[in-house]
Amino acid sequence: MTSFADLGVPAPIVDALAADGKASAFPIQEHTLPDTLAGRDVLGRGKTGSGKTVAFSVPLVVRLAEAGVKRRPGRPTGLVLAPTRELATQIATQIEPLADVVGLRVTTVFGGVKQARQERALGAGADIVVACPGRLEDLMKQRIVSLDDVKITVLDEADHMADLGFLPVVTRILAATPAGGMRMLFSATLDNGVDKLVKRFLNNPVTHSLEDATSPVAQMTHHVFRVGTTAEKTELVRVLASGTGRRILFTRTKHQAKKLAKKLTADGIPAVDLHGNLSQAQRDRNLASFAAPDGAKVLVATDVAARGVHVDGVELVVHVDPPAEHKAYLHRSGRTARAGSSGDVVTICLPEQWGDLRKLLQKAAIKVPGQQVTATSDVVADLVGEHAPLRHLPVQAPAQQQRSGQNQSRSGQGRGSRGTGRGRRGGSGQSQGSGQSQGQRQGSGRGEQSSTREHGTAAGNPRRRRSARRPAGAPAAR
């Protein structure tokens, strides 16, 4: 394993990375950092979860610090563009500890909230701005922010920005930055016009393409569960949601996500939803609940959560509704098996969906047979927790669960939110009280501009599986 110090990262930044559990570089970081630290433009290609945020955060901070930039109101020197609010927030969270070490200030800019806070932050002087394109362009037009002093620009998930229709705005923003500035572009693919951005704005870039966008993740196990009726599907979804670890359930529509999260919570399985019809406060609150150790263990989401949402310890992704196309399948599935950890992906398939699903999986290079299952099948029990009889226990209403206490035992095992059962890591299931607020049940997550374009990290111990693991592919990264 290559250390960040070996790659030329200054000691204070190395220490800050180590404090966050990042002691050695992942492949995309190892390959790009020598070039980016030297100031070269870089085009980095790699699938979601491969460690791109660290790959650009380190050189962004290091080179701005070395340049001795002077902080000026409304004139940042570092700019990161991201397609969604959630991704922008997570990028800023990654950059801030590194920036603090060298005395740089970071702020975020995105739509869906009042701009007063963003105006104040920019007016006070921000060295690095992490922004979604629409709101940033609005602030530029109002002359609240100028990009004339930007020395380094980063485009993250450029292909997703193209999917959302942001490329014209991104083009205008890049044109407003100095032509001689350093630029880094990270993308899973170069389609939908991303290649034109590369040709126009990157100066003789070094390309690092470590893996195909459809290459499988070795630690990810795929399952296709075929059911005969909608009633069987409903019960299977309930059982899969009832495990002790974090899991994300993907639906096709916002209405379905909201309805399912509400139903699971009423059944004693605390859940929050993530979709487009929500305020920023609701999104932030629900994502915080899902990420908290004692929060909701289930996130029910539309495809707006398929990118840019990283929560540690997601052990299972369930495609309650198969996505419309293979890219959405890969990005949804990429919410688990991140940073070298393992995870499972389940697609639930009704008879009339089987033909389309087979074609989708073929395009995604996923080879997995369909299994006819019910909620009581052994393979389902393995995913929920070995020998966990969750499906056989009566459901208590949330208020009843709270009154009965959270640590009652049954047959010598800790009670989970839906009963007893050993988690698949061997620990006892922990009670999940259901006293969620209405706001927490309403979910979060959409792109910076609310759109009808709603497309479509596990604990790392290996586990016995009836479905074969994917044989090849690099580990998922930070």
Structural domain harbouring 160? 11-209
Q: Are residues 76 and 100 in the same domain?
A: yes
Predicted confidence (pLDDT) at residue 274 exceeds the cutoff of 90: no
CA distances from 8 to 25, 64, 154 (A): 12, 15, 20
Average pLDDT over residues 170-180: 96
CATH of the domain at 419: 3.40.50.300
* Better-scored residue on pLDDT, 125 or 330: 125
State the CB neighbour count (10 A cutoff) for residue 229.
Answer: 10
Residue 160: pLDDT above 50? yes
The answer to whether position 5 is within a domain reads no
- What number is the average pLDDT over the span 358-369? 91
Q: What 3-state DSSP class applies to 249?
A: strand
Counting residues of the chain whose pLDDT is more than 90, the rounded percentage is: 51
- Residues 175/197, Cβ–Cβ less than 8 Å: no
| SS3 of 259-288 | HHHHHHHHCCCCEEEECCCCCHHHHHHHHH
Report d(CA 439, CA 288) in Å as an integer.
Answer: 12
Residue 28 — very low, low, confident or very high, per pLDDT cuts 50/70/90? confident
**Is residue 290 included in any domain, yes or no?**
yes
pLDDT tier, 298 (very low <50, low <70, confident <90, very high otherwise): very high
Instruction: Provide mean pLDDT across the span 113-138.
Output: 96
Judged against a pLDDT cut of 50, whether residue 114 lies above it is answered with yes
Residue 436 is assigned to a structural domain of this protein: yes
232 occurs within a structural domain: yes
Of residues 458 and 263, which shows the higher confidence score? 263
* 254 and 109 both lie in a single domain: no
Statement to judge: residues 204 and 255 lie in one domain: no
Looking at the structure, do residues 151 and 245 belong to the same domain, yes or no? no
pTM, entire model: 0.61
Task: Using alpha carbons, select from 71, 77, 82, 37 the residue that is nearest to residue 56.
Answer: 37
Please tell me which residue, 380 or 413, carries the higher pLDDT value.
Answer: 380
Clarify whether residues 42 and 144 are in a common domain: yes
Q: 413 pLDDT exceeds 80?
A: no
Say what the pLDDT of residue 445 is: 39
Instruction: Let me know: does 87 contact 154? Beta carbons within 8 Å.
Output: no
User: CA 382 to CA 463: how far, in whole Å?
Assistant: 9
Residues 368 and 436 in one domain: yes
Residues 172 and 303 occupy one common structural domain: no
Question: Which pLDDT value is given to residue 257?
Answer: 93
- Per the prediction, the chain carries an average pLDDT of 80
Domain boundary among 187, 209, 231: 209
Domain co-membership, 165 together with 246:
no
Neighbour count for residue 282 (Cβ, 10 Å) = 22
Tokens describing residue 46: 């790699």
Domain end, chosen from 183, 209, 235, is at: 209
**Number of domains making up the chain:** 2
Is 463 among the domain residues? Answer: no
Domain check: are 173 and 242 in the same one?
no
Summarised one tens digit per residue, pLDDT across range 237-254 is: 999 999 888 999 999 999
Is residue 242 within 8 A of residue 418, CB to CB? The reply is: yes
Residue 228 token pair: 């005969």
Q: Are residues 266 and 180 in the same domain?
A: no
Residue 57 is predicted with a pLDDT of 97
| 126 and 24 part of one domain | yes
- pLDDT tens digit string along 339-353? 667 789 999 999 999
pLDDT of residue 54 exceeding 80: yes
**Domain boundary pick from 185, 209, 233:** 209
Residue 459 falls within a domain, yes or no? no
Which amino acid makes up residue 9? V
Do the domain assignments include residue 43?
yes
Residue 1 inside a domain? The answer is no
